[in-house]
Amino acid sequence: MYSLTLLMIAGAVIFAWWSASRDAAERATALGRDACRNAGVIWLDQSVHASGLRLRRHDSGWLGVERSFRFEYSDDGVERHVGRLVLFGDKLVAFSGPRAREASL
């Protein structure tokens, strides 16, 4: 009886972790794609890759997960550049990569 309950709890925790990871990857994909489009560069491979994971405290003191992603882009179609972004929950906390073009007058 207890083993079935523990198995169900473990399954729920694993599913919640997997779901949160997929949500973060989808958010990172949208952010990387939008950054490349706004900068007028080519978003290579049409994906992001998880590159790091760490625990970090929220302002409230609760622990949260900070996920790092990388993506590649090219401004000329030949050279590849690496962009990086960091999400804490669903909030973007760090970004390095293509910058949006300035409007010309």
Instruction: Give residues with Cβ within 8 angstroms of 100, minimum separation 6.
Output: 35, 38, 39
DSSP helix/strand/coil, 42: strand
Number of structural domains (the chain) is 1
Residue 31: its pLDDT value, please?
A: 95
Tell me how far apart the alpha carbons of residues 86 and 95 are, in angstroms, rounded to a whole number: 6
Residues with Cβ within 8 Å of residue 58, at least 6 apart in sequence: 64, 89
Is 101 part of any domain?
A: no
Q: Could you list the residue range(s) of the whole structural domain that residue 51 is in?
A: 2-96
| Tens digits of residue pLDDT in 61-98 | 999 999 999 999 998 888 999 999 999 988 999 999 99
- State the greatest distance between any 2 C-alpha atoms of the chain, in Å, as a whole number: 72
Q: What is the pLDDT of residues 12-29, one digit of tens each?
A: 999 999 999 999 999 999
Question: Does the residue 17 lie in any domain?
Answer: yes
What is this structure's pTM?
A: 0.83
- Cα separation, 13 vs 68, in Å, equals 21
In a domain, 104, yes or no: no
